[in-house]
């Protein structure tokens, strides 16, 4: 990051905190409705001190990783099948488009009925929330592969199975990575949403606890943590992978 850009960003966030503190000092709203930045930081510090925050983050992230891994594996298989077998596309493909329009949170009641208030239920919501984004992007990616790549590989002796791992997935990777990114975003929303309703450990659960205790600073603190993890994954993890892929694949 350029120093001038960094300065701009620091200035911007410093301003938000100053305005926030100013509004709090003006005593327009009571502290139990509108906490000061210091209250929020204190709350985060408690969370760090008794490790409940780390436990919450760890629980949510673990659910996310398990769910997203299943969604990525399933989405890749489904997407490639749809792209390579027209019948699969005409049948399952239309269903996938329909299912993708259901917000992941709408799967929660079904997940509770099927799996009870368990980890499996939450992971189910994460998987179902992320899998279709991975599927559709993989499908689009495979459909958009330069046909010469496939012809060259077959000409050099690649069989269908070898074609999938050595050509289809790497050639479609710029699209597939967008699918992972979308899938992660859906999964992250899904895990927090599901935890709120399941109220069974994790950051979503901590949000709910904050609400039940009328502890606004805890609610805001947890929201900041959720946002922070989002920024970290999007802006660091995915940005690095995307930059590398775009350059190597000659897309920039």
| Contact in structure between 78 and 131 (CB atoms under 8 Å) | yes
Closest separation in Å from C-beta 135 to another protein: 21
Alpha carbons 74 and 53: distance in angstroms, whole number: 31
Question: Which of 153, 185, 223, 224 forms a contact with another protein (CB under 8 A)?
Answer: 153
Closest separation in Å from C-beta 4 to another protein: 30
| E-only strand ranges, 95-219 | none
SS3 content of the chain, % helix, strand, coil (to 5): 85, 0, 15
**Judged by CB, which is closer to another protein: 176, or 194?**
176
Counting runs of H as helices and runs of E as strands, what totals does the chain give? Answer: 14, 0
Does residue number 250 form part of the binding site for another protein (CB under 8 A)? yes
**Judged by CB, which is closer to another protein: 41, or 245?**
245
Q: Considering Cα of 20, then 24, then 30, then 32, what sign does the dihedral take?
A: positive
Does residue number 244 form part of the binding site for another protein (CB under 8 A)? no
Closest separation in Å from C-beta 164 to another protein: 12
Alpha carbons 174 and 176: distance in angstroms, whole number: 6
Question: Which of 18, 73, 152, 227 forms a contact with another protein (CB under 8 A)?
Answer: 152
Does residue number 157 form part of the binding site for another protein (CB under 8 A)? yes
Contact residues for another protein, defined by CB under 8 A: 146, 148-149, 151-158, 162, 166-167, 170-171, 173, 247-250
């Amino acid at each position: 990051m350029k120093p001038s850009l960094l300065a701009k960003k620091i200035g911007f966030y410093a301003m938000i905190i100053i305005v926030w503190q100013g509004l709090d000092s003006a005593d327009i709203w009571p502290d139990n409705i509108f906490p000061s930045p210091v209250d929020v930081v204190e709350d985060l510090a408690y969370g760090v001190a008794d490790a409940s925050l780390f436990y919450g983050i760890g629980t949510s992230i673990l659910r996310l990783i398990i769910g997203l891994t299943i969604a990525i594996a399933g989405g890749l298989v489904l997407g490639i099948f749809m792209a390579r077998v027209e019948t699969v596309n005409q049948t399952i493909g239309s269903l996938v488009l329909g299912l993708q329009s259901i917000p992941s949170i709408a799967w929660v009641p079904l997940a509770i009925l099927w799996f009870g208030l368990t980890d499996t239920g939450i992971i189910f919501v994460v998987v179902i929330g992320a899998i279709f984004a991975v599927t559709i992007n993989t499908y689009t990616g495979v459909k958009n592969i330069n046909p010469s790549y496939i012809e060259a590989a077959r000409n050099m002796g690649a069989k269908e199975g070898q074609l999938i791992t050595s050509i289809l997935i790497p050639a479609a990777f710029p699209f597939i990575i967008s699918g992972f990114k979308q899938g992660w975003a859906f999964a992250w929303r899904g895990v927090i949403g599901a935890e709120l309703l399941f109220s069974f450990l994790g950051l979503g659960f901590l949000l709910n606890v904050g609400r039940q205790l009328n502890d606004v600073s805890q609610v805001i603190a947890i929201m900041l943590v959720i946002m922070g993890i989002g920024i970290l994954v999007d802006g660091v993890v995915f940005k690095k992978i995307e930059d590398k892929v775009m350059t190597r694949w000659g897309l920039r």
